[in-house]
Amino acid sequence: MSLALLPGSYDPITLGHLDIVKRALALYDEVVVAVMNNAAKSYMFTISERAEMARLATADMPKVRVVADEGMLVDLFDRLGADVIVKGVRNEADLAYEQEMAAYNLSRNPRARTVFLEAEAPYADLSSTRVRDMLKEGEAPNGLLSAAVISYLDLKGILKPSGK
């Protein structure tokens, strides 16, 4: 049984993230979406809110589970008994950054290999930053987030009435 670990901040989880999850499911028996914190980032949503959105977005995927963790990725990798880290990349800048992180993880744990999945065309320009900017402007990020996440944001009062 192979276990893939998909770490990210998921602030919030987008359709691009979900595409990577689905593609990882085609390659591995189980996928763990790990909602994590990065000290270099500031977040619109708490780690528990981000994990809840990820759970809602992946609820129809029985071989996916969501965990929230504030520690180091390589430690989580070992705790879960993961076989591989999977990262989606949208462009060369993403790839360069993720290759650097992959080298760091590998230096800390020789089993912590990273597989990169290139974003598919409809998601190559989609980022959580873009979604957050839309939310701050009161725009509904329709077509960028799952219906379950849109409903969650609406229930939380994050979508402004004009943004529905």
Residues acting as catalytic residues: 17, 41, 90, 128
- The pair of structure tokens assigned to 133 is 């900017």
In this structure, what are the phi and psi dihedrals at residue 30, rounded to the nearest 5 degrees?
Answer: -140, 145
CA–CA gap between residue 87 and residue 77 (Å, rounded): 14
- Cα–Cα distance list, 53 to 18, 66, 156 (Å): 12, 10, 11
Helix (H) or strand (E) holding 117: strand 114-118
Strand partners, 69: 36
